[in-house]
Chains A and B, each alone.
Chain A
Amino acid sequence: MATPARAAGRAPVRFRRLALMDFRSYARAEVALDGRPVALFGPNGAGKTNLLEALSLLGPGRGLRSARLDELPRVGGAGGWAVSARLDVAGEERRLGVGAAASAPDRRICRIDETAAAGPAALAEHVRFLWLTPAQDRLFTDSPGERRRFLDRMALARNPAQARAAADYELAMRQRQRLLDERSRDEAWLAALETRMAEAGVALAAARRETASALAAAEIAAGDEDAGFPAADIALEGELEAALDAAPAAEVEEAFAERLRRNRAADAAAGRALIGPHRSDLLVTHRQKGTPARACSTGEQKALLIGLVLANARALALSARFRAGASAPLVLLLDEIAAHLDKDRRAALFDILDGLDFQVFMTGTDKSLFAAWGARAQGFAVEDGGLTETTLT
């Protein structure tokens, strides 16, 4: 099994303890973890995903359900909630905590080593989460927007500065559209906004290209070793992304600004910008079959998706930022991932996960799904808002 992640200079992170209070379906729950991958199994609605969500909230953002803060406290609880964890980061203990007080339910509290953190972004310095949930199962058949967001999230993990380019592009585009809506003929003003769009848009497209090629490289590196997970060919469909193949960024910026200028009438009529990186798409093809992902079977799509997420995890582990210790260690959250996979693929997945140097949390409805993992993973039965440690064999 290829284990490129072990070559990384960054020590892995291991969760040692996780405690929930009045969070979703949990009144109180506490688990001691020993650093092995974690398999959570139990019937639908038992609270498996809630646990993964609790973990994901220990990073920046709104967690794997993109939940609002008012959805998080347990119904029937006092209105406050807390998730805390002890982590082992390169031999040192870190304590992370998030939650909200009943008196101020709309203020998220973040604590690092028992002192108040400046904000959720500070958590990202200690641990970052990558996740795959059933909500992403339709990624290949959904609108391009979903795939773009998927790619942009990956790009963001590689390079946090990309968030700035995305926000700047969005704002400049909205400002320009407002001007067009008002039938403004102020040439210089429109040109000023189009120049901003071009600068930020090309930066955005360049970050996507970098991510896509890192993904493609990781896919190739994985090759046939990921038995059962079909290799994917990854391509970006987007004008700017394609133009960057042929010309330096400065030229692409100029050409894009010029295209925007010529498109003013059309964009005004359409009520939105018709060209630009906000229209790009991520194209994934089943390499062996040569079929586009959206035409593959449900199980095949799931396998492709898992392959992509694993490739992304590998690509991140190999990225310069990660190796330099500039980005926090990763934790992988895989929700209901085993459901669509046959026995061989599941076994192959466990092997791959063991080879990655990230701690992994997985859920599934049935204990037998994890049988092949055996003693290599720590199993928990999830039921009625509680967890019980169980062997997987």
Chain B
Amino acid sequence: MPTGKGQIGPELQRLIDLLAKLPGLGPRSAKRAALYLLKKREPVMRPLAYALAEAADKVAACSTCGNWDSIDPCAICADAERDGSVICVVQDVGDLWALERAGAHRGLYHVLGGLLSPLDGVGPDDLNIGRLVERARAESVKEVVLALPATVDGQSTAHYLSEHLAGCAVALTRLSQGVPVGGELDYLDEGTLAAAMKTRRPA
């Protein structure tokens, strides 16, 4: 008899189908994950189910910056220690985490939730842009840093944002491109080296 879906109970099949929708998982790895969960029912599966339910109930996008958190405004926006005069614009929360990990930015953030891409059907209305312009108009804000990827979509989104922020009395900056910290010139690709040379500064 062939092994088809019929041999897996509906509850388990549903779990596998849902797991298979996660990024990085396919049908096979989803099966493996489901079997693992069943084996680790008490130490992993029930806590995971509880964590999923809690996150689904409580985590939401911060109404100010778009960061995910269980409180609104989020912990970063609510942190009085942070410099409210600088807003760093990022594509996604993952980028916010990267900057936080580096401890490079002590100001606030703004999460766009994607990049403009007509071919992918992502337009300005799909991104958290209106709220950014609103925030940049506030008197306390002095600088907006566009920390977007150095790709065509990233750079055209940055350009679009700078047009829309032109009316606000803020300094617009973007991340510079060039030699990575601890990097050897010899190992850099030509494009990066050229960019580094173009944006050189007095030593």
A: residues with CB less than 8 A from B are: 159-161, 164, 168, 171-172, 174-176, 178-179, 182, 184, 186-189, 191-193, 195-196, 200
A192 close to B156 (CB less than 8 A):
yes
B155 close to A174 (CB less than 8 A):
no
B159 close to A196 (CB less than 8 A):
yes
Q: A178-B118, A192-B157, A200-B152 are in contact. List 20 more A-B contacts (CB 8 A).
A: A161-B189, A171-B152, A171-B153, A172-B152, A175-B153, A182-B118, A184-B118, A184-B123, A186-B124, A187-B163, A188-B163, A189-B116, A189-B123, A189-B124, A191-B159, A192-B156, A192-B159, A193-B118, A195-B159, A196-B152
A168 close to B160 (CB less than 8 A):
no
User: Could you list 13 A-B pairs, sorted by A, with CB under 8 Å?
Assistant: A159-B190, A161-B191, A161-B194, A164-B191, A168-B152, A175-B152, A176-B118, A186-B124, A189-B156, A192-B158, A193-B118, A193-B156, A196-B152
Interface residues on B, range: 20 to 34
How close is B188's CB to chain A, nearest CB, in angstroms?
11
User: How far, in angstroms, from A160 to B163 measured CA to CA in the complex?
Assistant: 33
A196 close to B124 (CB less than 8 A):
no
Residues of B within 8 A of A161 (CB): 189-191, 194
User: How far, in angstroms, from A189 to B163 measured CA to CA in the complex?
Assistant: 9
Question: Closest A-chain residue to B125, C-beta based?
Answer: A186
Residues of A within 8 A of B155 (CB): 196
Shortest Cβ-Cβ A-B pairs, 5 listed: A178-B118, A192-B159, A188-B163, A161-B190, A192-B156
How close is A285's CB to chain B, nearest CB, in angstroms?
33
A175 close to B159 (CB less than 8 A):
no
User: How far, in angstroms, from A174 to B152 measured CA to CA in the complex?
Assistant: 11
B119 close to A175 (CB less than 8 A):
yes
Residues of A within 8 A of B190 (CB): 159-161
Known: A174-B119, A175-B152, A186-B124. A192 touches B160 (CB 8 A): yes
How close is B154's CB to chain A, nearest CB, in angstroms?
10
Tell yes or no: B41 within 8 A of A by CB. Answer: no
Residues of B within 8 A of A188 (CB): 160, 163-164
A175 close to B118 (CB less than 8 A):
yes
Tell yes or no: B117 within 8 A of A by CB. Answer: yes
Q: Which B residues, 154 to 178, have Cβ-Cβ distances below 8 Å to chain A? A: 155-160, 163-164
A195 close to B156 (CB less than 8 A):
yes
Cβ-neighbour of A191 out of B118, B158, B163, B191 (below 8 A): B163
Residues of B within 8 A of A172 (CB): 152, 156
User: How far, in angstroms, from A175 to B152 measured CA to CA in the complex?
Assistant: 10
Residues of A within 8 A of B160 (CB): 188-189, 191-192
Question: Closest B-chain residue to A159, C-beta based?
Answer: B190
Residues of B within 8 A of A160 (CB): 190
B194 close to A178 (CB less than 8 A):
no
User: How far, in angstroms, from A186 to B126 measured CA to CA in the complex?
Assistant: 14
Residues of A within 8 A of B123 (CB): 184, 186, 189
User: How far, in angstroms, from A279 to B50 measured CA to CA in the complex?
Assistant: 59
How close is A67's CB to chain B, nearest CB, in angstroms?
28
Cβ-neighbour of B156 out of A182, A184, A187, A196 (below 8 A): A196
Residues of B within 8 A of A174 (CB): 119
Q: Which B residues, 111 to 141, have Cβ-Cβ distances below 8 Å to chain A? A: 116-119, 123-124
User: How far, in angstroms, from A161 to B194 measured CA to CA in the complex?
Assistant: 9
Question: Closest B-chain residue to A164, C-beta based?
Answer: B191
Residues of B within 8 A of A186 (CB): 123-124
Cβ-neighbour of A192 out of B119, B163, B191, B194 (below 8 A): B163
Residues of B within 8 A of A179 (CB): 118
Residues of B within 8 A of A196 (CB): 152, 155-156, 159
* Residue from A159, A176, A188, A195 with most neighbouring chain B CB atoms (10 Å): A188
User: How far, in angstroms, from A189 to B189 measured CA to CA in the complex?
Assistant: 30
Residues of B within 8 A of A182 (CB): 118
User: How far, in angstroms, from A211 to B194 measured CA to CA in the complex?
Assistant: 18
Residues of B within 8 A of A195 (CB): 156, 159
Residues of A within 8 A of B156 (CB): 172, 175, 189, 192-193, 195-196
User: How far, in angstroms, from A168 to B157 measured CA to CA in the complex?
Assistant: 14
Cβ-neighbour of A175 out of B117, B164, B191 (below 8 A): B117
Residues of B within 8 A of A193 (CB): 118, 156
How close is A321's CB to chain B, nearest CB, in angstroms?
9
Residues of B within 8 A of A159 (CB): 190
Question: Closest A-chain residue to B195, C-beta based?
Answer: A161
How close is B144's CB to chain A, nearest CB, in angstroms?
15
